């Protein structure tokens, strides 16, 4: 046995295996964070008028609901995917479903905002 392998703790492989099984659903969210910032910024900025306190509250609420929906769907869909195709499949499914929920909430908010604030 090589010397460098003997210098490792005895339970090194077991710890590594436990760490590999304990994947977190937010790992894929790091890749979408810049895109969420871009979409949220565009939602916030356009259209520029009317910009009053009610619209600001509505926009903040819509963005918060989109992020909360993303997080809820991320955690709920992480355990649904089968691991027969590897450990990356649950993260991919959870990230895709979460992205869809984020877009759906923002799309509904755009149409609702247009309808509510067109009368104002």
The answer to whether residue 8 sits within a structural domain is: no
- Total domains, the chain: 1
Residue-averaged pLDDT of the chain: 81
- The whole-number pLDDT of residue 6 equals 63
The answer to whether residue 33 sits within a structural domain is: yes
The answer to whether residue 10 sits within a structural domain is: no
Q: What percent of the chain has pLDDT over 90?
A: 38
The answer to whether residue 14 sits within a structural domain is: no
Q: How far does the chain reach from its first CA to its final CA, in angstroms?
A: 78
- The whole-number pLDDT of residue 74 equals 86
Question: Comparing C-alpha atoms, which of 39, 31, 42, 41 is closest to residue 95?
Answer: 31
The answer to whether residue 109 sits within a structural domain is: yes
Domain of residue 90, residue span? 24-118
Q: What percent of the chain has pLDDT over 70?
A: 72
Residue 23 has pLDDT above 80, yes or no: no
Q: Dump pLDDT digits (tens) for 90-120.
A: 788 888 899 999 999 999 999 999 998 886 5
**Taking the model in full, what pTM does it have?**
0.75
Q: How far is CA 37 from CA 40, 42, 100, 116, in A?
A: 5, 9, 15, 25
The answer to whether residue 64 sits within a structural domain is: yes
- The whole-number pLDDT of residue 76 equals 84
The answer to whether residue 6 sits within a structural domain is: no
The answer to whether residue 83 sits within a structural domain is: yes
Q: Dump pLDDT digits (tens) for 30-44.
A: 888 899 999 999 999
* Greatest mean pLDDT among 7-16, 82-91, 98-107: 98-107
Question: Comparing C-alpha atoms, which of 63, 46, 64 is closest to residue 117?
Answer: 46
């Amino acid at each position: 046995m090589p010397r460098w392998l003997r210098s490792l703790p005895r339970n090194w492989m077991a710890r590594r295996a436990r760490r590999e099984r304990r994947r977190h659903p937010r790992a894929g969210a790091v890749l979408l964070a810049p895109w969420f910032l871009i979409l949220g910024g565009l939602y916030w900025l356009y259209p520029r008028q009317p910009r009053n306190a009610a619209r600001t509250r509505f926009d903040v609420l819509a963005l918060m609901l989109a992020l909360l929906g993303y997080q809820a769907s991320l955690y709920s869909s992480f355990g649904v995917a089968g691991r027969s195709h590897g450990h990356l499949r649950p993260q991919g499914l959870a990230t895709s479903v979460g992205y869809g929920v984020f877009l759906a909430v923002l799309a509904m908010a755009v149409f609702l905002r247009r309808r509510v604030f067109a009368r104002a």
